[in-house]
Chain A
Amino acid sequence: MELVCPAGTPASLRAAVKAGAHAVYCGFADETNARNFPGLNFSREELTEAIAFAHARGAKVLVAINTFPKAGGQDLWHRAVADAERAGADAVILADIGLLAHAARHHPTLRLHLSVQAAAANPDAIGLYVREFGVKRVVLPRVLTVAEIAALNRAVDVETEVFVFGGLCVMAEGRCSLSSYATGRSPNTTGVCSPAEDVVYGTEGGQQTARLGGFLIQRSTPDAPAPYPTLCKGCFSVTDENGEDKRGHVFEDPASLDAAALLPDLAAAGVTALKIEGRQRSRSYVEAVVRSFRAAVDALEAGRPIPEGTLARFAEGGERTTGAYAKPWR
């Protein structure tokens, strides 16, 4: 299976390639990609150099242009596709139908991958993207069980890629506007979720707090670990039908996806590529996670047992989950 690894910077890209990534994905430093964070991402020159570096070492570079182009401003996204092709990208990762149609028409030899942000979760949706735009690979949304992924792979004739490690969306990707509801900016529109600029940390009543767009997302004792206040992993309260106040992480716990233990099942399910989330993470994080997963993939292919995980220290708040891959998650 191909290991697809994140790179938020040229240094991370080089580290990922050296650590054994078969492919690296990255984006331009603007609203065209879904990790549009300050200080991250690539200029045109940096991308060209990074692709030369990766290609010289046998690794591919995939360029994510996976936000939804703004009405009246589609040129920025069209230019990103053209520039990625010119820089020698092995594929672009797109989510928007209009942009896919544009790429298929104007860049017919450019390989198209369907971003997880398109949330294509069944054979009809996937078939549509394959038929209409010639998509070669689909990154599956994190809402499917392993059994469903296996069934899907039997029903479609396209490569599939699944997330195995890192941040976890609890909502169908590309179909969530919680972030813009609180802050005005969302993954679909500007490529950010729960943006740091809208986070205010404070102390209230002796407890540490984190607010997003003014809404209290977390409150904890000063010595407790405080994960980043991603909206869907916040702590809230709901009054149930008996009038009882239920407090907690009502949507999702602040946990990271770790499907390392499921690699044999994912291989048996017919998955082509394994994706590691985290373009916003540090170079050392990327290097360690890539190295660990490459060892796991190599072991799997050699028929050896998968090495025990050494990645717990990287998980959000130390908690790990296999997410929707196991049905009880639902």
Chain B
Amino acid sequence: MDLTIGPIQFFWTGEHWLRFYKELAGDPSVTRVVLGEVVCSKRQPFFQTLLPEVVDLLGAAGKDVVLTTLALITHDRERSQTRDLFALGLEVEINDLSALSHVPEGTPFSVGPLVNVYNEGTLGWLAEKGARRVCLPPELPPDSITHLAAAGRDLGVAIEVWGYGRLPLAISARCYHARLHGRGKDACQFVCAEHPDGATVNTLDGTPFLAMNGVQTLSAAHANAARMVDDLVAKGVAALRLSPQTQDFDRIRTLFRDRLEGRIDEKAMLAAMPDLPYADGYLRGEAGASW
């Protein structure tokens, strides 16, 4: 099983962004990196000019480099940016189904976790269109993963599963960060940059529950497939997706790689993980928040 690094879900400064990928280029445990903005098109100008350098850097380090689309494409500007993505000659990961309209005939593509692939019918239809890899929606229960991994094998589609990081639970036209500051989305002043791992949303009795990240809502807990690795390997899952965060991400990558290569067992892996609230309920067929 391989490791894919998902796109950075949060708004990081250009400097932080570049530093993250430079470090990643030197990490042999990672085979595939999905780059680009998935949450909010207003963030794109802040790292767009750095993108070619990072693509070259990761490519030279032998990584498969993939570009993501936005998760919610509404404006004409966003539509044309999506069309332009396919002209760059790199593999594209579709995270809004409308991007399928822009895939040049015969070009293979991949499908990200924010497209609803819930069953064999949808997987088969996407495979016919040229999908070669699908990262399943995190919500899927273990039975569905079993069926889709088997169907993926028959169709020649690699199936990836969300392995680590705050879960993307919802996307909206409304910006919650702007709303929190009494502003509209158009006048957001990029307040989401203040929370480079998302702003934790607590219940009124103080339990961390969700996290807001601009127009996106995530889990407060970090999804963590550490206890499900053997199960997912047995199901034939091709890769685990790790979602970038600011703290200890190098340690998390190393732990997953060591576990996949049999250098450490589950207990040792869990003991070495950062002290964070975790969740793996979806992978066990329970409420997503449970652990």
Contacts and interface: CB of A to CB of B under 8 A. Distances in A.
B121 A181 contact: no
A188 interface: yes
A216 B185 CA distance: 28
Interface in B88-142: 96-102, 114, 116, 118-126, 137-141
B107 to A, nearest CB: 16
B217 interface: yes
A289 to B, nearest CB: 25
A244 B73 CA distance: 33
B251 interface: no
Contacts of B98: 120-122, 124-125, 128
A74 interface: yes
B173 A143 contact: yes
B287 A98 contact: no
A236 B201 contact: yes
Interface in B161-175: 167, 169-175
A61 to B, nearest CB: 25
Contacts of B119: 68-72, 74, 96, 98
A30 B184 CA distance: 40
A92 B148 CA distance: 26
Contacts of A327: 184, 186
A213 interface: yes
B140 to A, nearest CB: 8
A122 B170 CA distance: 18
Contacts of B282: 180
Contacts of A215: 203, 207, 209, 289
Nearest to A72: B147
8 contacts: A143-B74, A172-B72, A175-B71, A178-B170, A184-B286, A189-B139, A241-B191, A324-B173
B174 A330 contact: yes
B180 interface: yes
Interface string A169-202: 0111011111011111010110000000000000
A213 B287 contact: yes
A312 interface: no
Interface residues of A, number: 65
A223 interface: no
A170 B212 CA distance: 14
Given A238-B199, A241-B194, A250-B201, A180 B288 contact: yes
Contacts of A171: 170-172, 217
B204 interface: yes
A70 B148 CA distance: 10
Contacts of B184: 327-328, 330
Contacts of A240: 180-181, 194, 199
A98 B126 CA distance: 9
A252 B100 CA distance: 31
A144 B176 contact: no
A181 B173 contact: no
Interface string B53-80: 0000000000000000001111000010
A124 B69 CA distance: 14
Given A124-B101, A241-B194, A176 B169 contact: yes
Contacts of B200: 238-239
Given A172-B173, A181-B289, A188 B179 contact: no
Contacts of B141: 189
Contacts of A71: 118-120, 140, 143-144, 146-148, 151
B219 interface: yes
B116 A174 contact: yes
B207 A216 contact: yes
A216 B116 contact: no
10 closest A-B pairs by beta carbon, nearest first, are A98-B121, A125-B98, A143-B173, A98-B122, A71-B147, A241-B194, A68-B118, A181-B288, A124-B98, A124-B101
A101 to B, nearest CB: 5
Nearest to B202: A237
B259 interface: no
Given A125-B98, A175-B114, A241-B195, A74 B288 contact: no
Contacts of A262: none
Contacts of A246: 180
A134 B212 CA distance: 37
Interface in A83-124: 95-99, 101-102, 120-124
Contacts of B140: 71
A167 interface: no
Contacts of B146: 71-72
